Amino acid sequence: AESAPDGPLLSLPTEHQHVRYNPLRDDWVLVSAHRVKRPWQGQLEKPPPEDVPRWDPKNPLCPGATRANGEVNPKYEGTFVFPNDFPALQPDAPEPDDSDHSLFRAAPARGLCKVMCFHPWSDLTLPLMSLPEIRAVIDAWAELATELGASYPWVQIFENKGAMMGCSNPHPHCQVWASSFLPNEARLEDQSQRQHLSQHGVPMLLEYAEQEARRKERLVVENADWLVVVPYWATWPYETLLLPRRHVCRLQDLSDSEKDSLASIMQRLLIKYDNLFEVSFPYSMGWHGAPTGSYLEEDCRHWQLHAHYYPPLLRSATVRKFMVGYEMLAQAQRDLTPEQAAERLRSLPEVHYKKRAE
């Protein structure tokens, strides 16, 4: 692990820069809260369109529509899972040739990529869906994690929401990539959580959730089974971490009641996100849990299930945080403290801005 910066952090300054340690990734983030006051003359993003048609025969994710490969979608009424027509991973890729030098290494990469539509309507996002509809999404996630995890060591469920995060289709959906290898973020989290359990006798994120539940200064929403915090080491302005209160290694290990309460807390968080700037809030999110495949036979008690939400917006619906320059060449940097971000999210109403007049 890296050594700590010179001098202990005895208090958390809100106006002065300091660095914070991220134990999950074994790295540091620079917090420069005073920078949020600087004038902005940079790029302004376009807000997402408000007039997305509910059904469009030209939209390849809609029920009954024809996709790029000529396949016709069924007229689905709930969730719908299908193979990605342009997969980044395929199950039968050939092995790369042996390297003639240690600086030019390659390794096999095989897998499967699937797309999952959340709902048949294109104009409906997760925070506007009903609790049973969100629960159906969670059930489908758990089923895919079980199915693909039977043979693949890593199953990455992730949602890119909004054009700002590279989403090329407004229809509510996510992707699921199963790989024959542990990706970089998974390897980092595996190492750090394993080390923490060895040194402290308790899973890192279970201990962290208990601490955050007691301290409350970074808490956004909570219920009997879950809590959402802006993590102490958050990089993105309104980044959040979704954590179970009990020790759970994998999404498929959740009980029915925990899935119900997960649907509720996801809805509450995502409504707050939309209410922050009264816009369909862009983000990338994904689940991290214990590896699967051959790891199902190994001791993975050091793992704790969790979901990361990484939203880019900083000041408004049109001003985002750019991870460039210093972030790419030195280390991550953020422009307001996690405590400030959590307080702002926590204070927002839990009725969606589009439904207040109803």
Asked if residue 288 belongs to a known ligand binding site, the reply is yes
Measure the CA–CA gap between 327 and 280, rounded to whole angstroms: 26
Give dist(CA 13, CA 29) in Å, integer: 14
Q: Both tokens of residue 228?
A: 């959402």
CA 302 to the chain's CA centroid: 20
Q: Would you say 84 is a known binding-site residue? A: yes
Q: Is 38 labeled as ligand-binding?
A: yes
Contact yes or no for 72/65 (Cβ under 8 A): yes
Indicate which residue of 16, 34, 171, 173 is catalytic.
173
Output the DSSP codes for 77-112.
SS-EEEE-SS-S--TTPPPPPPPSSTTS------EE
168 labeled part of a ligand binding site: yes
Please give the helix or strand (H or E) that residue 116 lies within, else none: strand 111-117
Which residues, listed in sequence order, are joined to residue 226 by a DSSP beta bridge? 244
Q: Which amino acid appears at position 219 of this protein?
A: L
35 is in an annotated binding site: yes
Residue 151 is inside which H or E element, if any?
Answer: none
Whether 280 contacts 48, CB under 8 Å: yes
Cα(87)–Cα(84) distance, integer angstroms: 5
Q: Binding residue per annotation — 160?
A: yes
Q: Residue 92, annotated ligand binder?
A: no
Q: Answer whether 216's CB lies under 8 Å from 321's CB.
A: no
> Was 11 annotated as part of a binding site?
no
C-alpha 43/C-alpha 228 separation (Å) is 30
Provide the pairing of β-strand 283-288 with 154-161: antiparallel
Confirm or deny that 302 is annotated as ligand binding.
no
- Please tell me whether 37 is known to bind a ligand: yes
Catalytic annotation present for 173: yes
Q: Is residue 267 marked as binding?
A: no
Measure CA 6 to chain center.
32
For β-strands 332-334 and 27-31, DSSP reports them as parallel
Check if the beta carbon of residue 117 is closer than 8 Å to that of residue 181. no
Flag whether 355 is marked binding: no
Per the annotation, binding residues for UDP-alpha-D-glucose are 35-38, 68, 84-85, 160, 166-168, 175, 321-322, 326-327, 333
Binding-site residues for Fe cation sit at 189, 288, 306, 308
Binding-site residues from annotation: 35-38, 68, 84-85, 160, 166-168, 175, 189, 288, 306, 308, 321-322, 326-327, 333
Catalytic residue list: 173
